[in-house]
Structure 1
Amino acid sequence: MSLPPGFLDELRNRLSLGQVVGRKVMWDTRKSNQGKGDLWAPCPFHQEKTASFHVDDRKGFYYCFGCHAKGDAISFVRETENVDFMEAVKILAGEAGMPIPEQDPQAQQKANRRDQLIAVMEQAVAFYRLQLKTAKGAEARDYLANRGLKDDALDRWEIGLAPPGWSNLWQHLTEKGVDKALILEAGLARSSDQGKEPYDTFRNRIMFPIRDGRGRCIAFGGRAIDPGDNAKYLNSPETPLFDKSRSLFNVKNAREAAGKGHPLIVAEGYMDVIALSEAGFKGAVAPLGTAVTDTQLDMMWRIAPEPIIMLDGDTAGRRAAERVIDLALGKLQGGNSLFFLELPAGKDPDDFLRENGRTALQAQIDDFATPLVKKLWLTELNRKTHETPEQKADLDKRLRAQIGKIPDQDIKRYYGDAIKNYRWETFKPANWAPAYKGRGKPQNVNATGAAKQSLLAGHMDEAQLFLLKDRIIAAIALTNPAVAIQFRDGLERFEVVDATARTVIDSIVSLADTTALEALENDVKAAIGAGAVDRLLQDNFIRLQPCVRKNLDADIVLHELTYNMALVSANRAVISETIEAEEDLEDYPSHVIDSRLFAVTRARDEALRGGREDTSQFAVADNGTNVDIDERNAFDALLAQIEVAAGKDRPKS
């Protein structure tokens, strides 16, 4: 059976050789670099213990340095499954979701025709390149020189010129004996509606050859020299060689560069790709003037797992980014994602490089390339204003709808968690404490002794309790700086709400690398004021905490820090989950909501126990609330000391 031209190329493009081979081998993780498609394993074709079997996933070939077996995905399936060529193609086509074409008795004839078309295209490349070097090309050469392209770059990219006039290429090719039907079929000329000779598709344009993954010229892109031309850029029409939705400009070179560790950068136009590559960003491609298509995204992910979408920093660029986000969410799977970089001041990559240079662009990539999940959040956030509860609810619904497109449940869950964090950071008040259904009002805690007594009696609401816990954590860290420095990663990640506690912890973390332990408290005082530190450490309730003392055993201090932070985080999680569950009541069955609340409450209870059974004993306060006896006794002792010092006698309770 003969297959139509291009079918096997499309099949190989859709499949990852690493995934095909990975079903039969165990990769050597120490020797492999999966991010670059450089994979090693013991050979499946002969007995060995060392990893001498190499797969180049970017190029789609394997080779064994032991038995010298080599080939592509089709040959691998043939050898390992013991099937013939067509059966191997059917197996792989099933995996790729490609139906096997009906038998075509003219397939070989079509393949020969395709080869003839490619030969005509290569003649056109040579003609255009020659025209650029003639007197007719002076204006085009000046333009390219002003864009920073020297002669060697023009040769590397095979840039040419379609001179003014209606039939320059047509006459050149027909005089060489090229079949007129081939010229028309290749998209190089168009038939006249007035019964005249066909005319050239490209006229008075700078020409860029478009090559496929095997390096064959399949189309052209032309940039108008006349600024008054209606179409600034013009691509070849659809032909048996060229489908723009399945092609990428510079795909062959970018694939090779990505295999050598260069990032894959997706720009908008030919000049952007050329400028990026000439500046050292060799893994640059462009989607040929269209929005990124499903097939193009698959091609990008086969080249690199995390391409950088570097679109122009204008309205059109932002809209293009939104379309890519919509497309990518429905295709996400483990290991594949996207990053986005919007260049400042509406610049495209070519403009930015000419004005700022390679180092500045690399800095933009390093500092401002945004992962897909954050780009999704920012896109929806900036789409409308969100000043009212109704507007925020609308934002939540839009985001849930977008995340709902993700097919992988694990990725969907992680996206939901990330969006919650972005929402919190964006909308939290300056001094937020969790409150819902009227339970608790955010406020700073600097309570009097009477207020502390009511706290122990169960009168303090959740908002005040969380703020107080923040201060306890800050006080433990400040009085035990050696442990705080060891635990600095945990302190950095902890969401601190109370303003004083946040300042103390930030100061400890920032001073930890340069400050002697014994001078740490003084330096924190210098940073935030001695009064703030003294008020924190001299707060009577905080002083009651067993770990707000110096020179304690490090394990005890570390346990108390971990316990208190887990307690606060778990309680906040319960409240946040409750709020979200209330919002989701209409969208999910009640048993799903109940399960979510049960899971987060159970996690909170584990944090409350601190990994151990609760052995606290309780008494009943005057208002009927349970009070920890140890805390009540400690508080009574403190009050007794205060009253004795004041010359009063207090009856025993």
Structure 2
Amino acid sequence: MSLPDGFIEELRTRLSIAQVAGRKVTWDTRKSNIGKGDYWAPCPFHQEKSASFHVDDRKGFYYCFGCHAKGDALTFVRETENVGFMEAVEILAREAGMPVPKQDPVAQKKADRRTILADIMEQALQFYRMQLKTNLATTAREYLEKRGMPLDIQDRFEIGYAADTRAALFQHLTGKGISAADLDEAGLCVKPDDGGSPFDRFRGRIIFPIRDARGRCIAFGGRAMDPNARAKYLNSPETPLFDKGRSLYNHGPAREAAGKTQSLIVAEGYMDVIALAQAGFNHAVAPLGTAITENQLHLMWRIAPEPIIALDGDTAGIRAARRLIDLALPLMEAGKSLRFVVLPEGQDPDDLLKSSGPQAMQDLLDAAQPMVTLLWEREVEGKVFDSPERRAALDTSLRAALSTIKDPSLRTHYTAAIKELRAELFAPKNRRDAPWQPGKGAWGKKTPQAATSGTKLSILGQTAVSDTFRLREALILAAAIRNPKAALVRETALEKSPIAAPDLIKIQSALLASLHLDLSGEDASGRLISAMTDRLGFNPMDHLLTLAPVRIHPHLKPDADPDLIALTLSEELVKHAANKGAEAELREAERDMEGLADEGLTWRIQQASEARAEATKASVNPGGEGSEDRENLSQQLQKLIDDQIWVKKKR
């Protein structure tokens, strides 16, 4: 049976070979780097104990360095299941949710037609390339020179030119024996409704060839030289070769470059991609004249797990980014997300690179904003939340957006992040009559600093609590890493521990994801650190030890007594919960302070202050002079948290 052209490619796009092979092998977590799509395991094709079987999930291939078995997901199923090609296709199609096309007697004929059309497209490209060197292309060459596009870049991207004549390409290709019907089917010519002679689709335009992931020329894009042209950019129409919603400009070269940089830039158009490549950013692609589609998102995620969407700094660019949020939220999962960069107002990548150089672009990419930031700013920008009804409306719209996230773990983390942003917005220091303006986020605007008169009276305003919280969070994580067994016992508490610092949230996530690995034996902490390092790309303990109190803590040394490490972990978890609970009540009390203070409010603040003092007064060095019995203190603190004595009770 012949399958439709593109079906196998679509099947490979939808499936993860790591997921397919993972049913038959056990991944070596110490050697694998899952975040980079790099998997290792003992080979299923020959008897061995070492992890010589390698899967590159991004490229979709496997290779065994022992027996030299190699192939893709289809090959793997055929070899491990002992089935034929079509049976393997059916197995994988069911897994991908794709119906296998029924046998079509003309399928092979259609595939042959696509081969013919691809050959015609290559001949057209060669014609356009030659046209760029003629006198008819003087204006086009001057334009490319003005844009700073040297000959080597023109050759690399195969830039051509379609002369402003009615049928130059048509006459050239029909003169070589190609029929008018074939040229029409390939999208190169247009047949008038009145039955007149066909004419060239592209006229008076610089030509950009569009190639698919396999390297075939499937379409063209053309930029008009006439400033009065009806369309500045024109793409080939949909053809048997070209589906613009499933294609990316510069797909193949960007995929190869992304394998080295572990990153992917998504720009708006051809010229952006070429300018980025000229500046050394070879890992850039662009959609083809439309908003990014679901299929294009999946193509991007196959190249890199967290593509950076780089959009022009104008209203249209910001609008496009915000629309993309609704498309991406239901499709995201752990390890597949988006980050966003919006360039300075009025600039595209070419403008920025020419005015400020590649480093300025790299700085923007390094500061790319996570999608949760854009979601939040989309919902609050330009709005006033001066009534319960308006706040409730904000909550409703946020809940609606978050409910579209299908991955439960991801939805939980998004909800937590939005909760923190909401608390910050409605905190007394941020209460304002003016419309909300986002901070130094994706849109690059500044947030005006505001403070209420009540801040000076605030207990929180008297101390730099954020530094204290960060230190305690670091102590918790360091203790958990030093004693994985104790961390596993307290896994629920670790998961619920309100870590706030973004860098420490990453370490917390890597810790929880690695705790269930095989950590038995003497060097459990070392193996845990190794597994977390693979996930994070850096050593978590080295990062935590940059804080002096963590570095010098006697119970966080590599050779510390495990029981004392466990006790330290328990204490710090309880103290952190106590501090966070007290802070939350104090924030609520501060909001109430804007009205008339009463006896109940004064009582709440007093109780919160006592709770915080009780939670933090104990020395972190047990056994010191005057210290209490550690177990009793932990129990007292836990009771304090459980009772929540700072919360106003009915009296």
TM-score (normalizing by structure 2): 0.71
Q: Which amino acid aligns with 1:569?
A: K
On the 8 A contact 1:12/1:60 being kept in 2, the answer is yes
The residue matched to 1:342 in structure 2 has which SS?
strand
What is the RMSD computed on CA atoms of the aligned residues? 3.8
Q: Hey, what does 1:570 align to over in structure 2?
A: 581
State the distance in 2 between where 1:4 and 1:486 align.
56
- TM value normalised by structure 1: 0.71
**Computing the radius of gyration over CA atoms, which structure comes out larger, 1 or 2?**
1
Compared CA separation, residues 560 and 405, structure 1 to 2 (3 A): closer
Which residue in 2 is equivalent to 1:414?
A: 413
Partner Cα distance (1:180, 1:615) in 2:
82
Alpha-carbon spacing, 1:163–1:577, altered in 2? closer, same or farther (3 Å): farther
Amino acid at match of 1:225: M
Counterpart position of 1:41: 41
2:364 alignment counterpart: 364
In 2 relative to 1, CA 35–274 (structure 1 residues): closer, same or farther, beyond 3 Å? Answer: farther
Q: In the TM superposition, what are the counterparts of 1:133-532 in structure 2 within 5 Å?
A: 133-367=133-367, 369-382=368-381, 384-430=383-429, 443=454, 467=460
Task: Answer 1 or 2: higher relative contact order, Cα 8 Å, separation at least 6.
Answer: 2
Amino acid across the alignment from 2:52: S
The SS at the match of 1:352 is: helix
Query: Quick one: structure 1 residues 219 and 177, their matched pair in 2 at CA, closer, same or farther if it must change by over 3 Å?
Result: same
Q: CA deviation at 1:54?
A: 2.0
CA-CA distance at 1:392 after TM superposition: 2.5
Per-residue CA deviation, residues 428-450 of structure 1 (Å, 9 max, x unaligned), is 11399xxxxxxxx995687xxxx
Residue 444 to residue 213, structure 1, CA distance change in 2 (3 Å)? closer
State the Cα deviation string for residues 201-220 of structure 1 (Å, max 9, x = none): 10000000000000000000
Q: What amino acid does structure 1 have at the position aligned with 2:400?
A: A
Offset, 1:611: 3.5
Alpha-carbon distance in 2 for matches of 1:222, 1:267: 17
Distance 1:274 1:615 in 2: 60
Contact 1:58 1:256 in 2 (8 A): no
Give the SS at the match of 1:20: helix
Asked if the contact 2:268–2:286 (Cα under 8 Å) also holds between the matched residues in 1, the reply is yes
Distance in 2 between the 1:255 and 1:220 partners? 20
Aligned CA distance change for structure 1 residues 560 and 337 (closer, same or farther; 3 Å): closer
1:235-278, Cα deviation, whole Å (9 max, x unpaired): 00000000111111111111111112241011110001111122
Give unpaired runs (5+ residues) of structure 1. 433-440, 447-463, 478-482, 496-510, 518-554, 579-603, 618-624, 627-653
Deviations 1:149-198 (A, max 9, x none): 10010000000000001101000000011122211100000101222210
Preserved contact between residue 615 and residue 637 of structure 2 (Cα < 8 Å): no
User: 1:489: Cα distance to partner?
Assistant: 10
For residues 474 and 307 of structure 2, the distance between their equivalents in structure 1, rounded to whole angstroms, comes to 37
Whole-Å separation in 2 of the counterparts to 1:52 and 1:616 = 53
Q: How far is 1:613 from its partner? A: 4.8
Give the aligned partner of residue 28 of structure 1.
Answer: 28
Q: Once the 2 structures are TM-superposed, how far is the Cα of residue 102 of structure 1 from its aligned partner?
A: 1.6
Within 2, Cα distance between the matches of 1:33 and 1:91?
Answer: 27
**Structure 1 residues 445 and 487: alpha-carbon distance in aligned structure 2, compared to 1, 3 A threshold:** farther
Check whether the contact 1:566–1:607 (CA below 8 A) recurs between aligned residues: no
Give the CA deviation at 1:318: 1.1
Q: Which residue of 2 aligns with 1:100?
A: 100
User: Separation in 2 of the partners of 1:276 and 1:473?
Assistant: 43
Equivalent residues of 1:253, 1:283 under 8 A apart: yes
Letter in 1 for 2:392: A
Equivalence for 2:635: 612
Q: Which amino acid aligns with 2:269?
A: G
* Offset at residue 393 of structure 1 (A): 2.3
Q: How big is the shift at 1:388?
A: 3.7
Q: 1:327 to 1:577 in 2, by over 3 A?
A: farther
The answer on whether the counterparts of 2:476 and 2:573 sit within 8 Å (CA) in structure 1 is no
Identify the residue that residue 60 of structure 2 maps to in structure 1: 60
Q: CA deviation at 1:336?
A: 0.7
Letter in 2 for 1:416: T
User: What letter is aligned with 1:385?
Assistant: V
Q: Distance in 2 between matches of 1:189 and 1:615?
A: 77
**Distance of 2:314 and 2:43 partners within structure 1:** 51
> Residue 111 of structure 2 aligns with which residue?
111
Q: How many residues align?
A: 505
**Cα 1:142–1:613 shift into 2, 3 Å:** same
Distance 1:75 1:557 in 2: 52
